[in-house]
Amino acid sequence: MLATATAKVRGGAKRYVEKYSAIDRLLHFIHLISFIVLAITGLSMAYRWTGLGEFLFGSMKNVKEVHEFFGWVLVISGGLLFLKLLPESIFKPYDFKWFAKLGGYLDPSHRTHAPAGKVNAGQKVYYWFGVVALIIMAVTGFSLMYDLVPKDERALFLAIHFVTATLWIAFFIIHLYLATIANPGTIWAMINGKVSEDYIKVHNPEWYKELKEKGIL
C-alpha cells in the first residue's frame, strides 16, 4: 500500500509518495553491501592483490572465506529482492518509447522526458541483467566452492565467473552514476523510500498518471 506525506514548502505543501518499502530498502542495502564486498575480495583474488586483501581482511585465506560467505548473502538477498521487484520489472509498451528517446539522457537541455512507470526501462534492463548474472555467478561460484566441477572444467567455470563479475561491476558503476549524478534526488528514494510529486512527474510520468487515477495524488 502506498503512503503519502506532505512537507511545508514556500507556496504550499509538497507531497511525497512512498516508492520503496522498508523491506525493499533493507534487501537492497544488504545486496549492495554484499556485492561491494564480493567485488573487492573477488578482484583481490583474481589479480593477486595480496597487499589489499591482507590489509582489509588480515590474510588471503580470510579473503577467500569472506568471499564465500558473502556469496551466499548476495544470492539470498538478491533472490528475495528480485522476487519482490518482479511485478514492477515487466516491460510495458511505453518502455519502448523510453528506449527510442534513450531515457532523455542525451538531451543537453534536459527537456526530454521519456515515458516511464514506477520503474523506467533502463532500470528494468539492469534488473533482468542482474537476474541472469546472479544465476550464472551462483552456479559457477558454488560449483567451484564445493568442488562440483571436474578439474579439467574448472578453468572454464572460473572464466565464466570472472567475465560475468566484470560485466556486473561495469553495469553497477553505470547504475550508481544514473542514481546519483545523472538523476539528482534518485538515491534518496532508496534511503528514505519517498519521492516528491514533482519528481514523479518528471521521472515517472506513467506512474504519475496511475497515482492520479487512484486518487493517491
Residue-range domains of the chain with CATH: 1-19+93-119+193-217 (no CATH), 22-89+126-184 (1.20.950.20)
Place of cell 548476495: 74
Q: Name the pTM for this structure.
A: 0.89
Closest CA to 115 of 133, 94, 130, 100: 94
**Phi, psi for 150 (deg, rounded to 5):** -55, 145
Looking at residue 12, its amino acid is G
- Cα–Cα distance for residue pair 23/175, rounded to 1 Å: 21
User: What pLDDT score was predicted for residue 73?
Assistant: 98
User: What pLDDT score was predicted for residue 36?
Assistant: 97
Looking at residue 67, its amino acid is H
Decide: helix, strand or coil at residue 188. Answer: helix
**For 158-216, how does the pLDDT look when each residue is reduced to its tens digit (9 = 90+)?**
999 999 999 999 999 999 998 888 887 788 888 999 999 999 998 999 999 999 999 98
**Phi, psi for 3 (deg, rounded to 5):** -115, 145
User: What pLDDT score was predicted for residue 1?
Assistant: 53
- Cα–Cα distance for residue pair 36/202, rounded to 1 Å: 31
Q: What residues of the chain score a pLDDT lower than 50?
A: 7-12
Non-local (6+) Cβ contacts of 169 within 8 A are 39
User: What pLDDT score was predicted for residue 110?
Assistant: 61
**Phi, psi for 95 (deg, rounded to 5):** -65, -30
